[in-house]
Amino acid sequence: MPVISTNIAANTALRYLNANSAAQTESLSKISSGQRIQSASDDASGLAIGTTMAADVAVLNQAATNITQGQSVLNTADGALSQVSDILERMKALTAQAQSGSLEDADRTYIDAEYQQLLEEIDSIVTTTNFNGKTLLDGASDYAAGADFLVGATATETITVTLDAANLTDLGIDGSDVTTAATAADAMTALETAISTVSEMRANVGASMSRFEYRGNVVDSSLESLQEAESSIMDVDLASEQTNYTNASTMTQAAISALSQANSVQQQLLKLLQ
């Protein structure tokens, strides 16, 4: 029934126009942000799962950084211990030289001068080797008791880095000298123990480095899988959403055209009164 007081056709066209325009805006928002879920109403369970996964990804990314830092600590310690080991070998050679029967004690004094300098160098290396302001080998920092590095998504996934002291006292060579054949022989025995101690320390450091390396591979693999799963839930399928946007845009244009036509109907009805 044609009427002029209520434009039913225009109201219907306007309702479809609003719905199509909202769908077009929603699709455009998803395409622009790259996210399939814009609000909880889009997918409540997906949002909850995706948010949890995003938090796990953030923690694992930090765990990967912690692993790198742990490896750096161990590399720094191993580099210093390598130098200490080389010095100890040189010192042992000096003790052997000092035990030559062809030398007088006066000659051994010159040998001892180098020996004492090398002792000081070991002390210097031990006291100055540090990472982020924490000493590593003097037995006075957190690493002496064991420092924990979080290497996973939960608080229980940690690797403890423990570094034994490599100072002169702990190596058992503090106060040693080669001024006489007797003291040189005692120093040689002490150096053999010290070399063995440093070798064991380096072996322990190497074992920890290996563990960090393998854990790093695990974290990288977990991150890849978790990010893939998060993407499948949270990220928009651009091809599919582009199709949705095109359809909504077409329907919006059609609704605008229909609304225009509906608004002209009443003007045409008024012509019947002329």
Tens digit of each residue's pLDDT (9 = 90 or more) over 67-104: 999 999 999 999 999 999 999 999 999 999 999 999 99
Least confident span in 163-172, 185-194, 222-231, 236-245: 236-245
Residue 201 reports pLDDT greater than 70: yes
pLDDT of residue 132: 92
Q: What is the pLDDT of residues 25-82, one digit of tens each?
A: 777 767 776 776 666 666 778 778 878 888 889 999 999 999 999 999 999 999 999 9
Least confident span in 125-129, 244-248, 269-273: 269-273
Question: For a pLDDT cut of 90, what percent of the chain falls above it?
Answer: 59
Per the CB < 8 A criterion, the answer to whether 139 and 42 are in contact is: no
Average pLDDT over the chain reads 87
pLDDT of residue 265: 65
Beta bridge partners of residue 159, listed in sequence order = 149
Model's pTM, two decimal places? 0.76
Architecture per CATH, domain 44-234, reads as Up-down Bundle (1.20)
Question: For a pLDDT cut of 70, what percent of the chain falls above it?
Answer: 87
Cα 169 versus chain centre, distance: 37
Alpha helices for 129-167 (secondary structure H)? 142-145
Tokens coding 162? 């423990």
Per the CB < 8 A criterion, the answer to whether 78 and 202 are in contact is: yes
pLDDT of residue 54: 85
Tokens coding 164? 């034994």
Distance CA 46, CA 10 (A): 38
Per the CB < 8 A criterion, the answer to whether 266 and 4 are in contact is: yes
pLDDT of residue 115: 97
pLDDT of residue 186: 97
Taking the CB of residue 131, how many other CB atoms lie within 10 A of it? 18
pLDDT of residue 252: 79
What is the residue extent of each domain of the chain?
A: 8-34+236-273, 44-234
The DSSP element (H or E) to which 9 belongs, if any, is helix 8-33
Distance CA 229, CA 46 (A): 11
Mean pLDDT of the region 244-256: 78
Residue 205 reports pLDDT greater than 60: yes
Q: Count of alpha carbons within 13 Å of 66, Cβ hemisphere only?
A: 21
Residue 122 reports pLDDT greater than 80: yes
Distance CA 125, CA 23 (A): 68
pLDDT of residue 161: 96
Q: What is the pLDDT of residues 145-185, one digit of tens each?
A: 999 999 998 999 999 999 999 999 999 999 999 999 999 99
Helices and strands of the chain, counted as H and E runs: 7, 4
